[in-house]
């Protein structure tokens, strides 16, 4: 088994890091660059910046933020929110991002994932999937930061994005997101079993035990953490230590 | 002392530039032939598909420039796809010819089907020493077992084991994670994205360029 990557997810609105519950009710929690630097110095493995309102307003505006971050944060940086064109990806990479997370545009035009992965390589293209549970033990794909239902089934969509060439899936549970009530273990189990590309679990962690429980039951490759870090409930080192104590391999 | 990073319109070069600047190097991003040939150290970055990378190098007219630079025996470092392109060719998306500076080819990372291992290999993973001592190389003072950041689906297979500077295990196989042939270095991992140990490797390379 791979070392599980511990990722700090920083959602950004204008120049502020923000946090909501179920991707709504956004509150300012700090300066995104300061937070990224602190997490880096504390041993985080990766940073994800998501423009929380980009898809909604049809824009993306994180390039300055990325440029500043990559001056002193020497770990992988993913940027998402409002990536709509090949030029958007080029700009994100030029600014210093390693990967882009794509959701809304991919749902509207799946071939975009295919085109992007051919040009930039699969490893650069993260398919961001927002999932909401529906009847019958299924989940529906949402777009526009959890605002728009699409009628698509999450498992089918995950398989499809893999075929199209996505290199990773960042799977956010809208039901759990921001609640600190733990991960939707069933969701991750179902998706991990259906695809062979890495899956990043995002949404719901309230304490390290939630991560332990998830990783023991679903073979996710990474966990994206927001509230626990942003509200200083546990530090990066606290989380890694608890995972290690539970025989889960992480980068030390 | 001047280090040049080859700019051929591919991938994330900003973070390589930042990492070299952070370690105090006088570094520039360029596709200018004279500037490349004048430099004391040359870095070839690259992410993505092998064929796309080679095509971009060709359309920037840089294939021969890089070969000419390497013949001069000054320090050279290829990163990720930049390492893979040092070899003779790749089987990614059909066969493509590489720079041919090191004997060997680029193949899909072998995995065991029954182990449920995934591709691409996106992970922090450990460097192990093979035949070559690390003293005096870019891995000087790097502890065996150090974690570096990998993101790739293909790996280089050098013909000559003595070109293998480090190996890394994935899915039960050891693959070549860094390569050395004289002053030519290649890293499959991303030193510019591997935290403080990655920066140390960059510092080691800068020191080499100062000699």
Mean per-residue pLDDT, B28-37: 96
Q: Under a CB-based contact definition with an 8 Å cutoff, are residues B87 and B158 in contact?
A: yes
Q: What is the pLDDT of residue A120?
A: 84
- The angle subtended at Cα A103 by Cα A99 and Cα A105, nearest 5°, is 105
Q: Under a CB-based contact definition with an 8 Å cutoff, are residues A214 and A185 in contact?
A: yes
**A197 at B interface, C-beta within 8 A:** yes
Q: What is the pLDDT of residue B19?
A: 95
Q: Say which range, A92-106, B87-101, B169-183, has the weakest mean pLDDT.
A: B87-101
How many beta carbons lie within 10 A of that of residue A24, not counting itself? 13
The structural architecture, per CATH, of the domain B3-210 is: 3-Layer(aba) Sandwich (3.40)
pTM strictly above 0.80: yes
Catalytic residue among B92, B121, B176, B190: B190
Best A47, A49, A74 residue to mutate vs chain B (most B CBs within 10 Å): A74
Catalytic residue among A45, A51, A130, A168: A130
> Mind listing the pLDDT tens digit for each residue in A36-46?
999 999 999 99
Mean per-residue pLDDT, A186-208: 96
- Indicate if A130 belongs to the active site: yes
Report chain A residues whose CB lies below 8 A from the CB of B21.
71
> Mind listing the pLDDT tens digit for each residue in B70-124?
999 999 999 999 999 999 998 876 688 999 999 999 999 887 664 556 778 889 9
Residue A193 predicted with pLDDT over 90? yes
Contact assignment for A121 to B124 by CB distance below 8 Å: no
Mean per-residue pLDDT, A85-90: 92
Q: Say which range, A149-153, A223-227, B6-10, B166-170, has the weakest mean pLDDT.
A: B6-10
> Mind listing the pLDDT tens digit for each residue in A3-40?
999 999 999 988 899 998 887 888 899 999 999 999 99
Q: What is the pLDDT of residue B110?
A: 81
Left, alpha or beta for A222 (phi > 0: left; psi -120 to 50: alpha)? beta
Q: What is the pLDDT of residue B48?
A: 75
Best A64, A91, A98, A121 residue to mutate vs chain B (most B CBs within 10 Å): A121
Structure tokens at A195: 């695809």
Q: What is the mean pLDDT of chain A?
A: 93
Q: How far is A122 from chain B (nearest CA, A)?
A: 7
Using the structure block, give the residue that is written with the tokens 């929380």: A52
Q: What is the pLDDT of residue A56?
A: 57
Q: Under a CB-based contact definition with an 8 Å cutoff, are residues B10 and B50 in contact?
A: no
Beta strand segments in chain A, E: 5-13, 16-21, 24-30, 46-51, 77-80, 99-102, 125-134, 138-143, 148-153, 168-173, 199-202, 222-225
The sign of the torsion formed by the CA atoms of B147, B202, B188, B129 equals: negative
CATH 3.20.20.70 fits A5-245, yes or no: yes
Catalytic residue among B176, B187, B192, B209: B192
Q: What is the pLDDT of residue B95?
A: 81
Mean per-residue pLDDT, B17-45: 96
Contact assignment for B192 to A96 by CB distance below 8 Å: no
Q: What is the pLDDT of residue B91?
A: 81
Q: Which among A3, A74, A96 has the least Cβ separation from residue B198?
A: A74
- Indicate if B60 belongs to the active site: no
**B167 at A interface, C-beta within 8 A:** no
Which residues, in sequence order, are bridge partners of residue B178? B166, B187
Whole-number Cα distances in Å, B85 to A88, A124, B33, B103 = 26, 18, 19, 11
Residue A153 predicted with pLDDT over 90? yes
Q: How far is A57 from chain B (nearest CA, A)?
A: 26
Report chain A residues whose CB lies below 8 A from the CB of B93.
118
Q: What is the pLDDT of residue B93?
A: 66
Q: What is the mean pLDDT of chain B?
A: 92
> Mind listing the pLDDT tens digit for each residue in A200-229?
999 999 999 999 999 999 999 999 999 999
Share of chain B above pLDDT 90, in %: 77
**A240 at B interface, C-beta within 8 A:** no
Structure tokens at B146: 């150090």
Q: How far is A26 from chain B (nearest CA, A)?
A: 30
Whole-number Cα distances in Å, B4 to B13, B33, B148, B177 = 12, 11, 23, 23
Report chain A residues whose CB lies below 8 A from the CB of B147.
3, 251-252
Residue B93's closest CA among A197, A168, A118? A118
Q: What is the pLDDT of residue B13?
A: 83
Domain locations along chain A = 5-245
Using the structure block, give the residue that is written with the tokens 């500076």: B101
CA–CA separation, B149 and A166 (whole Å): 19
Which residues, in sequence order, are bridge partners of residue A222? A5, A200
Q: What is the pLDDT of residue A118?
A: 86
**A170 at B interface, C-beta within 8 A:** no
SS3 A13: strand
Q: What is the pLDDT of residue B11?
A: 65
Q: How far is A93 from chain B (nearest CA, A)?
A: 5
Q: How far is B24 from chain A (nearest CA, A)?
A: 13
Q: What is the pLDDT of residue A58?
A: 53
Q: Under a CB-based contact definition with an 8 Å cutoff, are residues B164 and B132 in contact?
A: yes
Mean per-residue pLDDT, A228-251: 97
B46 pLDDT band, cuts 50/70/90, is confident
Domain locations along chain B = 3-210
Report chain B residues whose CB lies below 8 A from the CB of A127.
none
B167 pLDDT band, cuts 50/70/90, is very high
Contact assignment for B11 to A124 by CB distance below 8 Å: yes
């Amino acid at each position: 088994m791979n070392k599980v990557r511990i990722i700090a997810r920083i959602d950004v609105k204008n120049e502020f890091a923000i946090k909501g519950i179920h991707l709504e009710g956004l509150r300012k929690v700090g300066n995104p660059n300061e937070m990224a630097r602190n997490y880096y110095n504390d041993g985080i493995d990766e940073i994800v910046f998501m423009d929380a309102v980009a898809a909604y307003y049809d824009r993306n505006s994180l390039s300055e933020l990325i440029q500043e971050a990559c001056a002193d944060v020497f770990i992988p940086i993913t940027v998402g929110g409002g990536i709509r064109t090949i030029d958007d990806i080029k700009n994100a990479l030029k600014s210093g991002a390693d990967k882009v997370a794509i959701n809304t545009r991919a749902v509207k035009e799946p071939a975009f994932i295919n085109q992007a992965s051919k040009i930039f390589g699969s490893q650069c293209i993260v398919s961001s999937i927002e999932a909401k549970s529906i009847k019958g033990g299924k989940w529906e794909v949402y777009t526009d930061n959890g605002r728009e239902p699409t009628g698509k089934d999450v498992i089918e969509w995950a398989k499809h994005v893999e075929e199209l060439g996505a290199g990773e899936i960042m799977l956010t549970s809208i039901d759990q997101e921001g609640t600190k009530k733990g991960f939707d273990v069933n969701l991750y189990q179902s998706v991990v079993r259906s695809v062979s590309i890495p899956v990043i679990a995002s949404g719901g962690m309230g304490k390290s035990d939630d991560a332990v429980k998830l990783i023991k039951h679903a073979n996710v490759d990474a966990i994206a953490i927001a509230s626990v870090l942003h509200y200083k409930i546990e530090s990066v080192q606290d989380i890694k230590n608890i995972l290690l104590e539970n025989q889960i391999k992480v980068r030390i | 002392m001047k280090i040049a990073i080859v700019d051929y319109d591919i991938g994330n070069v900003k973070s390589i530039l930042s990492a070299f600047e952070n370690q105090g190097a006088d570094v520039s991003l360029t596709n200018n032939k004279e500037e490349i040939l004048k430099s004391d150290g040359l870095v070839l970055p690259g992410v993505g598909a092998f064929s796309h990378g080679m095509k971009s190098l060709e359309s920037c007219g840089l294939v021969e420039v890089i070969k000419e630079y390497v013949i001069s025996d000054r320090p050279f470092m290829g990163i990720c796809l930049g390492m893979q392109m040092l070899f003779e060719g790749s089987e990614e998306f059909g066969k493509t010819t590489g720079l041919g500076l090191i004997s060997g080819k680029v193949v899909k990372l072998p995995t065991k089907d029954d182990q449920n291992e995934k591709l691409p290999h996106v992970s922090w993973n450990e460097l192990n020493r093979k035949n070559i001592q690390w003293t005096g190389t870019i891995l000087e003072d790097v502890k065996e077992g150090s974690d570096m950041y990998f993101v790739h689906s293909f790996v280089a297979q050098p013909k000559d084991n003595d070109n293998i500077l480090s190996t890394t295990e994935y899915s039960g196989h050891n693959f070549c994670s860094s390569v050395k042939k004289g002053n030519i270095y290649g890293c499959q991992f991303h030193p510019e994205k591997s935290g403080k140990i990655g920066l140390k490797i960059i510092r080691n390379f800068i020191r080499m360029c100062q000699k």
